[in-house]
Structure 1
Amino acid sequence: MEKLGLLMFLQLVLCAYAQRPVPRLEREYVYVERTLTWYEAREYCRKNYYELFRISDDNNLRNVIGSARQLSWIGLVRWTVNWKWVDDTGAVFLNWYKVGSCAAMTHYGLWFDLPCQNSLPFVCQNGPLKWHFSQWHVNWYGAKYSCNTHSQNFASIWNAVENYNATGGILDIAWIGLSKVTDNTPLKDTWKWTNDQPPTYSNFFTTLFCAAMDRRGFWYDRVCFEKNPFVCFRYNESVPEYKLFSEKKTFSEAQSHCETWGMNLAMVKTLAENTALQLYVSENSEFLQNSLYFWIGLYNDPWFWSEGSSAIRNWNSMEPDGKDFWDQTISNNVQSCVATMDGEWYDEDCLMPRYFFCADKVRSVTLVLEPKSWEEALDHCRDRYVDLASLASDGEQRVAVRRVKDAQSSYVWTGLRFLAGSWFWVYGDDLQYDNWLNGEQPQCPVTRHCGALAVASGKWEARSCEEKLDFICFQE
């Protein structure tokens, strides 16, 4: 009779499995202590788990904080520039100040677009990797003429090696042979070398991410952690109402300050709104004091997760800045990727080998803080969730260990049960992965027929099924 009772119980447990809903999946982070580039790390995660880890909510962010022992990759990378307003609408009307149509290079190898009439030294070229540096100050057109009259070419740069070598004689900044197309053609405002060839390599200084406006109404892209005055606004019966603050703040600080007034940083979506804001500022220009710019509510967010989207951002207060952790400028011929340390994010050269976070797909579990016997816990999970949870992989074990930290009992019930001479998961999973105390299954337990997870050690132990413990369930 005892054997028959056990078989009936086993049949009841297992037949219920076929009628149960499937647990939902969630993404669990795995910290990998191997030094790989961002691209290699992504390939490793895809091969061994699922993808580089995406921080999709504040809970993800809290879990990662403290997990990275050094600067470590996450799945965020810069691909394109996408300007949008602080209300999350895209920017259609733009009023950028056109800095210049001719290119100059600094002695660090960075390129800047400047007005062609500026007087600067220049670089000529008389063969592959043969540069002639002139300290004679002329405008861009004069530099081009001077190179040609001396049977030389105005410097053209086609790769990172040439860019590095071309800086050898530059003391500060010098013209190179790159200018914008001014003809009214589909190529207008694109760049070309003096031989009319488009550039296949560029190294323009592009570390600017937030928009500021001057008193004339022109816009400038600036680093977001620069401190400027700012203008807040809101609509009052469909009429824009502005408020200029002279206190200098970073872009995010300025937006937060506006929100305390029930306002946003100024949004300028039409030429009429741009003119209205310009008039308001000119009438209150004494508040700007000596400042050249003030923040408006436009910023670009060129950062995309390698797997799915997320609005979560947790930049260090001086990031992103287009430089790596050692303040070296990231070359424009590689993408910028995001690494985290102490919970803060940094834009880094994707080719730098680092540790990284992978995302692993595991079944979702929840901790129930209601002490029950094992069979009571089983009924509770099947009535309100899916089933008592199996821990069928290393990833699910990690999830469970983190979930049970808040348990009020020293152990929590899992879906492990001993019947008819063997242990099994009541949800029907194979018992290939295990994490038993002392590294081996309890054999023929006399009274301890139910499996629990030890909160302190994370190990599995056999316990009496009548004990009252908290428990973990699969979530639908």
Structure 2
Amino acid sequence: MKTSFTVLLFMSLFGMSLNFYVIHFFVRESMSWDNALKYCKEHHHDLSTVRNQDLQQLSKNAQDDYYWIGLEKVNHDQNLWNWSEGGTAVIDNWDNDQPGNEDEKCGAVQRSNSKFHDAPCSWAIPFYCMEVYELILVQQENTWEEALDYCRQNYIDLAIITIEMIMTEAKNKVTAAQTEDVWIGLRFLAGHWFWVNGTDLNYSAWSVEGELQCPAMNQRCGVLNRDEKLWKSTDCDRRLNFLCVRRSHTNY
């Protein structure tokens, strides 16, 4: 089965200590709710748990009239709903006359108005999966290449900081670093800076020196400075602490 994805550049931090963030993936393949749930659990974390402030952005990137999220009915008479990844759903954004039919036990969102609907679970419509991530500070001193290898062997990758909310979490993490600079997944090659997963720098937080357009050969790896809380370019052979990113299976 060939399925394509739109990876949203929209993420949300959650949890009292802001330790985690979530990325939503739009899956264009139309499936029943049960099959969508199975797909998300096999390929990601779960069907998406969403909040009201997420909905407009999710709907903007969807393509059909409706899309599944991880919402399932527990009790019709009491209007009780749960999220598929766990936890009671408190929904205050139902569309008019929703929820309606007792037999409509799965939750969808109408793209045109970003309102919740109950729907027959057998509907075949697209859906959102989610991945939950957290940043890990590794307090050992490695070169940039060694740090990259370590993160990829033990987690996912060196930290990828693509929006302000992830930058906020990265700033919090590096306060415990034992080196003034901390490696992140930022590298200069072939004439430009990019993240090690291939993402371009649409968001940046460089120091006052700015983004060096043609750094010296020994200044082509990126760090987050523990004290200034900004990015700098430096020698890739320095031995520093580093930030990795890993998937988390915590509940939203």
- Using the size of structure 1 for normalisation, the TM-score is 0.27
- Using the size of structure 2 for normalisation, the TM-score is 0.48
Structure (1/2) with the larger strand percentage: 2
Structure (1/2) with the larger helix percentage: 1
Bigger-Rg structure (1/2): 1
